[in-house]
Amino acid sequence: MRVIVLRYSEIHLKGANRSYFENMLFSNIKTALSGYEYSLEKSTTRYLIRAFNEDKTNELVDKLKNVFGLHSLSLANEVNSNIDEITQAALSYTKSDGSFKVVTNRADKTFPMRSMDVSAEIGGRILNACSYLTVDVKNPDWNINIDIRENGKTLIYRDVIKCVNGMPVGTGGKGILLLSGGIDSPVAGYMMAKRGMSIRALHFHSYPYTSQLAKDKVLQLAALLKKYSVHMTVDIVSVTKIQTEIHKKCPEEFMITILRRFMMRIAEIIAKEKGIGAIITGESLGQVASQTLESIITTNSVVTLPMFRPLIGFDKDEIIEIAKRIGTFETSILPYEDCCTVFLPKNPVTRPKLKIVEKVESVLDVDELIAEALQSVETVEI
């Protein structure tokens, strides 16, 4: 019978609370495969998927590859633990050329042959049947893996397909991701989900200065992120009035600094309302004026929740590489207007002083503007 073997990542290092991580992973696998027919079984250090439609194998593999907490998977054959059945399965995994090695693991100590002997026997039988192949135990082109399990069954497989690793989403608390339409913030959300964080997204727009297309693009990015984050909800908030007021009443070089302070305050209010414990942004130190240490100090100072900036030490090239790998890049580079580009100052302050920013901002009715912005929240379940 054809099965998919799933191995999990560092959660095997967990101690007493390991079952908490395993249960979350189990549930996330089920969510990823919803709509498909299969059975999922937990064995000692891995999961086995059985009874699936083999025509859908590639689709299942694509979904499973993106489940955080999974280290790798293999397509395998499960047979009764006897040498003839094992040989037959092993032959079905041979390639048409190259060198190979048989690697045997014997969990079932009642199986009459030792691992080394099984490898030698199966290797010999493969060579007999396929004279065009060679054995190379030091540096083989491919392996045939034989896993003799305790239940009288043996798994035979060749390839090990890498999955995304990380921790099961839901085991790392909840974070609110400030999601723009750019390249960086989707990657930041991916990185935190990778460490097990549940993500809720928050997007600010300045309609009618920013278009419906810009909003749609963000929802598209959120949908792409959902492949990894299991669940995805997006709150969309208008900052048009806030930007207009800043534009009217504050020196133009402070526009972005002050706007970002409003974004953080709004994010924190929504977070606290939803029981979320952290704010996530796609900032990278020094990338633009609003991401210098001084700028970060002035925006950070209006919130008390921890701010997670998983890209802080990444170069743009490195961020782009991840964006391409996770599939958000092509959408991120579609043209759009971020609300920050509306009323964009020619020379934004690069090293704002907190005291000065607070003074400049004091002409605004901060609480009133925030209350008004929060009235505009639109929530989209992806």
> Which residue has its beta carbon closest to ligand ATP?
182
Among residues 63, 56, 77, the alpha carbon closest in space to that of 5 is found at 77
DSSP annotation of 344: -
Q: Please, are residues 240 and 209 in contact by the beta-carbon 8 Å criterion?
A: yes
Residue 293, interface with ligand ATP (CB under 6 A)? no
* Rounded Cα distance, 356 and 349, in Å: 11
Residue 52 φ then ψ, to 5°? -105, 160
- Distance of alpha carbon 174 from alpha carbon 193, whole angstroms: 9
> Rounded to an integer, what distance in angstroms lies between the CA atom of residue 46 and that of residue 169?
18
Site string for ligand ATP, 103-142 (x = CB under 6 A): ----------------------------------------
- For residue 181, the minimal CB distance to ligand ATP (Å) is 7
Q: Is 309 in the site for ligand ATP (CB under 6 A)?
A: no
| 246 touches ligand ATP (CB under 6 A) | no
Select the binding partner of residue 282 from Mg ion, ligand ATP, none (C-beta < 5 to 8 A, by kind).
ligand ATP
Closest approach of ligand ATP to the CB of residue 375, in Å: 18
- The residues with which 195 forms a beta bridge, in sequence order, are 167
SS3 292: coil
Site for ligand ATP in 161-220 (CB under 6 A): 178-180, 182-185, 202-204
| Structure tokens that stand for 85 in this block | 């059945």
With binding defined as CB under 6 A, does residue 290 bind ligand ATP? yes
Minimum distance from CB of 382 to ligand ATP (Å)? 16
- Tell me if 282 contacts Mg ion by CB under 5 A: no
Q: Terminus-to-terminus CA distance in the chain, angstroms? A: 36
Residue 26 or 209: the one with the smaller Cβ distance to ligand ATP is 209
The single residue listed with the structure tokens 């390639």 is 95
Contact between 338 and Mg ion by CB under 5 A: the answer reads: yes
Partner in contact with 204, chosen from ligand ATP, Mg ion, none, beta carbon below 5 to 8 Å by kind: ligand ATP
E strands, the chain, in order: 2-8, 39-43, 46-50, 70-80, 99-106, 134-135, 142-148, 153-157, 161-165, 174-178, 198-205, 233-238, 278-280, 307-308, 378-381
Q: Which is nearer to ligand ATP, 147 or 283 (CB)?
A: 283
Least distance CB 126 / ligand ATP (angstroms): 52
Running DSSP on this structure, what letter comes out for residue 212?
Answer: H
Q: Tell the burial category of 108 from Cβ atoms under 10 Å away from its Cβ (0-12, 13-18, 19+).
A: middle
Could you tell me the two tokens for 91?
């032959």
DSSP state of 261: H
Angle between helix axes 366-375 and 255-273 (nearest 10 degrees) is: 60
Q: Is 340 in the site for ligand ATP (CB under 6 A)?
A: yes
Nearer to ligand ATP, 6 or 242 (CB): 242
Q: Which position among 180, 243, 298, 332 is part of the footprint of Mg ion (CB under 5 A)?
A: 180
For the bound state, the minimum distance from the C-beta of residue 43 to ligand ATP, rounded and expressed in Å, comes to 41
Q: Is residue 182 close enough to count as binding Mg ion by CB under 5 A?
A: yes
The amino acid sitting at 327 is G
Whole-number minimum distance, CB 283 to ligand ATP, in Å? 5
CB of 351 vs ligand ATP, minimal distance in Å: 15
Interacting stretch for Mg ion, rule CB under 5 A, among 66-74, 96-104, 175-183, 208-216?
Answer: 175-183
Out of 283, 296, 310, 329, point to the residue binding ligand ATP (CB under 6 A).
Answer: 283
Instruction: Return d(Cα 270, Cα 156) in angstroms, integer.
Output: 51
If the CB atoms of residues 130 and 269 are measured against ligand ATP, the closer one turns out to be 269
Binding site for ligand ATP (CB under 6 A): 178-180, 182-185, 202-204, 281-283, 287-288, 290-291, 338-340
Binding site for Mg ion (CB under 5 A): 180, 182, 338
